[in-house]
Amino acid sequence: MTAAVTFCWHPGDGVLHEGRGASLDISSGGVFVVTDSAPRVGAQLEIDIYLRPTDQEPNFVRLHGEGRVVRAEKKGSQMGFAAEVLFRSEGTDSPLTEFERAKLQRPQE
């Protein structure tokens, strides 16, 4: 399942780092994210995943969670990471950033 992802982490330098990407795989216990800025393995992070509306749920659903990066990969110019995350879901009709809107926009019918 592909969805827009935002995340943040403290790499140990005292500065909060933020990143954006797209989910490649989501499960009840974690996620794999493709991104330009991956946290290091072992980093604690907070993550939000924005799921598109469906026939059953007319609003965007935000999965929010906290977890730990368990794997990082780089293949060519693409980078990604896997994280163990405990998710909570929340309905949302809050404004989305331009990035999130582009990732979540439903196809025109």
pLDDT at 52: 80
Note the pLDDT tens digit of each residue in 9-57. 987 778 899 999 999 888 888 999 999 888 999 999 999 998 887 777 6
Q: Does domain 4-98 have CATH number 3.30.70?
A: no
pLDDT at 39: 92
Is the CA virtual torsion 74, 76, 79, 84 positive or negative?
A: negative
> What is the pTM assigned to this prediction?
0.74
Three-class secondary structure of residue 99 per DSSP? helix
Alpha carbons 37 and 26: distance in angstroms, whole number:
19
